[in-house]
Amino acid sequence: MIRVQNLTKRYDGTVAVDDISFEVERGEVVGFLGPNGAGKTTTMKIITCYMPPTSGDVTIDDRSVLSDSLPIRRSLGYLPEDSPLYTFMPVLEYLEFVAEMRGLEPGLKGRRIKEMIEVCGLGEVLGKDVSELSRGYRQRVGLAQALIHDPDLIILDEPTSGLDPNQIAEIRSLIREFGQEKTLILSTHILPEVTATCDRVIIINRGRIVADGPPDELGGRLRGRQRVRIGFVPEGFETAAAAEAFSSVAGVTGVEVAGREGGLELFTLETAPNTDPRLELYRLAAEKNWPLAELYLEGSTLEDIFRQLTIGEDTTGKADGAEGGVS
């Protein structure tokens, strides 16, 4: 549905987006992840025809942002980081205004407004001015304006920024619901947001894509190794002896005594790339008659991957995202 080809954007000599390419299939929910200043918002603005690229192109359903900007804008729903709301309008009046701007026919307009009120939970605030709403309700109204014309493609830029935990949970629930039927790109730097809502992750750093794939596969693909978590009932078990024995197992490159938790003595074992020492560890425990209670692979978390790719690459000592304020 979306094809980004060699996309570049420069601001006064600063490269905000640096020759990136990727595709998004119809029906995918993609998390666009990166630190502040990585180029996420700039990319979203180009995809939505808010600004032109310096070079490269984006096509949506074979329409180019360079030559078909109006049809593209008509076909997508966009929630920028700062919701484009007219704060002096009552909520219902604002939704009616957006429906008219989107060109909905009179019969369809009423039905879609009613659906957005129900889906986005706006029934209690229809008579209030947007200026009177909490940030959570403003985000709901912003989502309603992005969805009112029933677009096939939805682009959300930092939809939960500044919300409290309850509001975040509500917005995530809405995003998951939309993702069942629509193609959705979610731009964020909040890692739980991606884990909770997306089936694919694109990580961008300093304007370039550094990872692309399902969240649960990126750890092994990028780092080539996993951790093994192993736990024992403490009775009849010597921690120091076990730690020494584990270090001699093929594939184990490091042993960390994690301490006691849930009544178990726990260890975290680092493994060499593309190895799985669990069978050997099980045999060792059986041979030593150690009361094994827990043994599983613990892959790299999205946080591990994010830090490796966005902080680990920075050898200059500068904080990532220092790109002259460009995001």
Q: What pLDDT, in 10s, does the model give residues 140-162? A: 899 899 999 999 999 998 888 77
More confident residue, 134 or 216: 134
Are residues 67 and 80 in contact, defined by beta-carbon separation less than 8 angstroms?
no
- The mean predicted confidence, pLDDT, of the chain is 85
CATH code of 226-299, in short, is: 3.30.70.100
According to CATH, where is 3.40.50.300 located in the chain?
2-220
According to CATH, where is 3.30.70.100 located in the chain?
226-299
Neighbours of 248 (CB within 10 A): 10
CATH topology for the 2-220 domain:
Rossmann fold (3.40.50)
More confident residue, 136 or 76: 76
Residue 181, pLDDT score: 84
Q: What is the mean pLDDT of residues 68-78?
A: 94
Buried b / exposed e along 25-64 (16+ C-beta atoms within 10 A): eeebbbbbbbbebbbbbbbbbbbbbeeebeebebbbeebe
Q: Angle at the Cα of 97 (from 92 to 103), degrees rounded to 5?
A: 130
**Does residue 11 register a pLDDT over 50?**
yes
Compute the distance between CA of residue 129 and CA of residue 34 in angstroms, rounded to an integer. 34
Residue 320, pLDDT score: 36
Across the strands, what pairs with 31? 186, 201
- Say which DSSP state 235 is in: T
The whole model's pTM is what? 0.71
Residue 300: band (very low, low, confident or very high) from pLDDT cuts 50, 70, 90: low
Residue 163, pLDDT score: 75
**Does residue 226 register a pLDDT over 90?**
no
Lookup result for tokens 């076909």: 75
Q: Is 112 helix (H, G, I), strand (E, B) or coil?
A: helix
Are residues 228 and 297 in contact, defined by beta-carbon separation less than 8 angstroms?
yes
